Amino acid sequence: MLLHYLDLSWRSFKRTPLVSFLMVLAIAIGIGITMTSLSVYHMMSADPIPHKSSQLYNVQLQTMDEGHTWWTGDDIPMQLTYQDAENLYNAPIPDKKVAMMRTGFSVYLDSDEVKPFISNARMTTPDFFNMFDVSFIYGGVWSEQQEQSAAPVVVISKELNDKLFAGENSIGKLVYLDDDSYQVVGVINDWPLNLKYYDLNNGAFNKVEDLFLPFSLIKAKELNSWGNSNGWKYENIRNFADRLQSEQVWIQFWAQLDTTEQKTAYGNYLTSYIEEQKKRGRFTREKPEYSLRDVNQWMEYNNVVSEDNKILVGLSFMFLAVCLANILGLLLAKFLRRAPEVGVRRALGASKRQVFLQHLVEVAMLGFIGGLLGIVLAQVGLLGVRQSYNYYANLATMDLTMLLSAPVIAITTCIIAGLYPAWLVCKTNPAIYLKSQ
């Protein structure tokens, strides 16, 4: 029966090509516009590490005195001070935790083959790779002992390995970073991230760093952050040691908490940590405040999906509603014109339900064709987005979910638009039309 209905729909489509084409066009434009903005929204808000996102928690501490405000929703600074990061890293719990900072080096080899260039680097403790699911092609991460002793070792990206060592196994080789030599201990696999969710406030759209080095080198080599550092009170900072002891926040800190018990335990630990620091004159607020946010909460908190994008998604759905009204009007015209034919069908024994279904199949077909055309239009739209905004190069694309949902949204829209006309036409009283023929 469905095939028969489809056949009828196709015949009807061909009988009134202009109206049918207009309807397909209306739905295609609506879908094109909606999918363009929805795709960007979808890619930005997508969970970057679905199987683990609820176990990884960003740690925030309320270090500021009473009365000081921050621009975050809950007034807590986004990053930690160096001393807090160091203390929390040396804490007994949890098993896996990472303190880190973004910086950069000039990179060169002990030969003239490669012209010196600048690379972004992440100073991090070793659990980083395990926690954020980074895999290695060669070698692996530095040891905890190397971390503690600020050993001059480095993990490099595949891209950098290709550039410096032509993609060969480079474990044990030396790289010069700012005039010091470092030994390569690992090469990581390609790590395509649309969004650097592990460090959102220091260039969330920048690509993943090419160099990873022990966190302890910050102190040893007096490395400055290439990200944001913020202070909230006047401090007389004259040298690097002052900075490490200051209340400026510039370190990101994550903890892996696999179970609710672990989370509660860690929360208790943080409270007692704040109480203990209070005795030393820090954390002067009455109530100890900290915050643990998992990956998705952290992205939400940092407003990863831009306001503009949310507005566009809203407006484009309203646009789709206009298209829907348009299609509804055209369908009314088309179906009602066909009333005499329906009268005959009804007289020959078709039930109301069959007539209704037949017309719904017809609109669903229109929706399907419109949806396909809409995907094409959305691709054009996304191409435009990519061209005018570099940062969206990875984000302005349609993944499988979006490709599948385009026809689904199109068909749903068309069926909603088709319900009323189909109902009207199936109510046709056969007698009237039989008489006049």
Partner 1 sequence: MLEIKPIFHALCRSKVGAVLLLLQIAITTAIVSNAAFIIQDRIAFLNQETGYPEQDLFKFNVMTFGKDVDLSQQFELDESMLRALPGVESAAQSSSIPLSGSGSASSFNLKPAPQESKSVRTAYFFIDEHGLDTYGVKLISGRNFSEDEVLITNSPTDRTTNVTVITEALANELFPESDALGKTIYFGDLPLKVIGITAPMKGPWLKDSHPNNVALIPYIQSRTYAQFAVRAKPGQRAAVMKDIESLMLKNYSKRVINNIRGLDELKDEYMAADKLMMRMLIVLITILVLVTALGIFGLTLFNISKRTKQIGTRRALGARKSAIINYFLVENALICSVGLFLGVIAALLLGQMLMQHFSIAALPPSYIAITAVMVFFMSLLAVLGPAKRAANISPSIATRTI
Neighbours of 423 (CB within 10 A): 15
Q: Which amino acid does the sequence have at 211?
A: L
388 in contact with partner 1 (CB under 8 A)? yes
Amino acid at 247: E
Distances 308 to 42, 203, 347 between C-alpha atoms, Å? 14, 18, 56
Residues 40-99 that bind partner 1 (CB under 8 A): none
410 is a contact residue toward partner 1 (CB under 8 A): no
DSSP state of 249: B
Residue type, 199: D
Residue with tokens 């369908």: 331
CB 399 within 8 A of CB 36: no
In the complex, minimum distance from the CB of residue 246 to partner 1, in angstroms, rounded to a whole number: 13
Q: Is 319 in the site for partner 1 (CB under 8 A)?
A: yes
DSSP string, 8-19: HHHHHHHHSHHH
CB of 58 to partner 1, least distance (A): 23
| 373 near partner 1, judged by CB under 8 A | no
Q: Which stretch binds partner 1 (CB under 8 A): 73-81, 252-260, 278-286, 301-309?
A: 301-309
If one asks whether residue 393 binds partner 1 (CB under 8 A), the answer comes out as: no
Kindly state whether residue 390 participates in binding partner 1, applying the rule CB under 8 A: yes
Nearest to 60 by CA among 268, 303, 230, 289: 289
Q: Which of 114, 333, 432, 434 binds partner 1 (CB under 8 A)?
A: 333
Structure tokens at 244: 């490490």
Residue type, 175: V
Comparison of 233 and 278: residue with beta carbon closer to partner 1: 233
Tokens of 388: 């005018």
Alpha carbon distance 269, 265 (integer Å): 6
Alpha helices for 46-183 (secondary structure H): 82-89, 127-131, 144-148, 158-165
Whose Cβ is closer to partner 1: residue 112's or residue 261's?
112
What is the Cα gyration radius of the chain?
31
Of 271-279, 280-288, 292-300, 380-388, the segment contacting partner 1 by CB under 8 A is: 380-388
Among 176, 269, 356, 433, binds partner 1 (CB under 8 A): 176
- 300 is a site residue for partner 1 (CB under 8 A): no
d(CA 124, CA 211): 10
Footprint (CB under 8 A) of partner 1, residues 341-360: none
Q: What angle do CA 48, 52, 138 make, to 5 degrees?
A: 80
Per DSSP, the residues of 296-331 read HHHHHHTT-S-HHHHHHHHHHHHHHHHHHHHHHHHH
Cα gap 308→314, rounded to integer Å = 10
Q: Which stretch binds partner 1 (CB under 8 A): 72-80, 100-108, 131-139, 352-360?
A: 100-108
CB 102 within 8 A of CB 122: yes
Which of 120, 304, 392, 426 is the binder for partner 1 (CB under 8 A)?
392
* Smaller CB separation from partner 1, 233 or 352: 233
Q: Which stretch binds partner 1 (CB under 8 A): 22-30, 52-60, 163-171, 254-262?
A: 22-30
Site string for partner 1, 111-130 (x = CB under 8 A): -----xxx------------
**Residue among 29 and 153 whose Cβ is closer to partner 1:** 29
Nearest partner of 220 among 317, 123, 138, judged by Cα: 123
Q: Is 239 in the site for partner 1 (CB under 8 A)?
A: yes
AA identity, residue 14: K
Q: Where are the alpha helices (DSSP H) in 46-184?
A: 82-89, 127-131, 144-148, 158-165
CB of 94 to partner 1, least distance (A): 34
- Interface segment toward partner 1; rule CB under 8 A; list 135-143, 245-253, 262-270, 303-311: 303-311
2, 67, 73, 238: which one contacts partner 1 (CB under 8 A)?
238
**416 contributes a contact to partner 1 by CB under 8 A:** no
CB of 396 to partner 1, least distance (A): 9
Q: Which residues in this chain contact partner 1 in the complex, by CB under 8 A?
A: 19, 22, 26, 29-30, 33, 36-37, 104, 106, 108, 116-118, 176, 178-179, 224, 233-234, 236, 238-239, 306-308, 310-312, 315-316, 318-319, 321-323, 325-326, 328-330, 332-333, 381, 384-385, 388-392, 420
